Structure 1
Amino acid sequence: MDHIQFVYTFGMEESEVEERLRSEVAGVLSLADDGTAYGVPVHHYYDGESLYFRLGDDDHSKKLSFVETTTEASFVLFGVEEPESWSVLVAGTLRRLTGEEREAFDAAEINEDFGPFRVFDEAVDEVELELFEMEISSVTGRQTGR
C-alpha cells in the first residue's frame, strides 16, 4: 500500500445521519432474488423511524418482482465533494402499505415527500403508485474529513 492513496473514514453522529436521511432526496435501493442483485435509484421519505419508497407498478415491474423476493433490502445515500465524502447505508425489510396506511399519504403529500414521479416508456395512466415502508434493522453513516 506504499503507493496507493487512501483516506480514513469516521462514523457519523446520529444527528448527522438523521439529517442526511431527511434532507437528501434520492439514493439507491438494492434488492435481491436468489443470487441476482438489482439496484435502482429511487426517491425516499424518512419520518424519523422508517424509510418510505414510492415505486411504480405497470403490471410487469422488475423492481416490484425483486421487492417480493427480497428478504432484507439495503438503501444507500452518498455524496462526494472532494476532498470530503459521506455515505449512509440503511438495511431492513420492505413491506407494501395498504388500506389506511396507504391512504395516510394523499397526492399532495406524496408530491411533497417524494418529488416528481419518473416515468420511462409507460403511459402514465397505466402505472399504479405503490408505497413501501422499510422497517429499519441497521443504519451506518461514514464520512471523510473532520
Structure 2
Amino acid sequence: MDPDVRFAYTRAMSQAEIESRLRDVGHGVLSLADGDDSYAIPLYHHYEDGTFFFRLGETPDNSKGDYIETTETATYVVFEAEETAEAAQERGWSVIARGPIERVPRSHPVYDVQYVNEQFAPIRIFDEAHDEVELTLYELQPEVLSGRQN
C-alpha cells in the first residue's frame, strides 16, 4: 500500500449508540435487488423496537414495489459525515441494517394517519397527482445491524 495514503481509523458502535443514531436521524438509503439489477432509494424511516418502518408513495408505473417483492435481503444505510477544513479532522458514522423487507398490513396500527404524520417527514411526490399515489408502509427487521464511527 502506498505509505502516503491517509487513513481514518474507525471503531464499532455500541448497541446503545446505534439505537440513538437511528432514533435521531430519520433518513437513509434503501438498497433493493432483482437478480443482478439493483435499485437504491433515499427514504425517511421511523425506527421503533428494533424495526425500521418506511413509508412509500407508490403509483402504478413505479418500480419500488416490484423491487421490494424480488429482494430477499434488503440493505438500509443511515449515515452522517461532518466535513471540516482539514480532511484529517472529518468525523462521521454509519449504520448498516440487513434483512427481509415486507409490506405492512393495512390493519397494522402504524397506518393511522396521525401516527404516520407524526413519525415521518411529508411524503414527496413529483409529477404525480395526489389521487394517483398510494401510501404503502414497509418494515425491515434487521438480521444484521452494525455501526462504525470515527
Query: Which TM-score band (shorter chain)?
Result: over 0.9
CA distance in 2 between counterparts of 1:2 and 1:104 reads 52
Task: For structure 1, list consecutive stretches of 5 or more residues without a partner in the other structure.
Answer: none
Equivalent AA in structure 1 for residue 97 of structure 2? V
How far has the Cα of 1:100 moved from its partner? 1.9
CA distance in 1 between counterparts of 2:116 and 2:110 reads 10
Q: Partner of 1:85 in structure 2?
A: 92
Q: Partner of 1:74 in structure 2?
A: 75
Q: Partner of 2:131 in structure 1?
A: 125
RMSD over equivalenced CA pairs, Å: 1.1
CA distance in 1 between counterparts of 2:101 and 2:121 reads 21
How far has the Cα of 1:141 moved from its partner? 0.3
Equivalent AA in structure 1 for residue 126 of structure 2? F
Partners of 1:18 and 1:48 within 8 A in 2: no
Task: For structure 2, list consecutive stretches of 5 or more residues without a partner in the other structure.
Answer: 84-89
Question: Normalising to structure 1: TM-score of the pair?
Answer: 0.94
How far has the Cα of 1:60 moved from its partner? 1.6
CA distance in 1 between counterparts of 2:54 and 2:142 reads 13
Greater Cα offset, 34-43 or 55-64 = 55-64
Look up the SS of the partner of 2:126 in the other structure.
Answer: coil
Compared CA separation, residues 118 and 19, structure 1 to 2 (3 A): same
How far has the Cα of 1:105 moved from its partner? 2.8
Question: Normalising to structure 2: TM-score of the pair?
Answer: 0.91
Look up the SS of the partner of 2:66 in the other structure.
Answer: helix
Q: How does 1:28-107 map to 2 (within 5 A)?
A: 28-82=29-83, 83-101=90-108, 103-107=109-113
CA distance in 1 between counterparts of 2:19 and 2:110 reads 23
Look up the SS of the partner of 1:100 in the other structure.
Answer: coil
Detail structure 1 runs of 4+ shifted over 2 Å in the superposition: none
Q: Percent identity?
A: 41
Look up the SS of the partner of 1:131 in the other structure.
Answer: strand
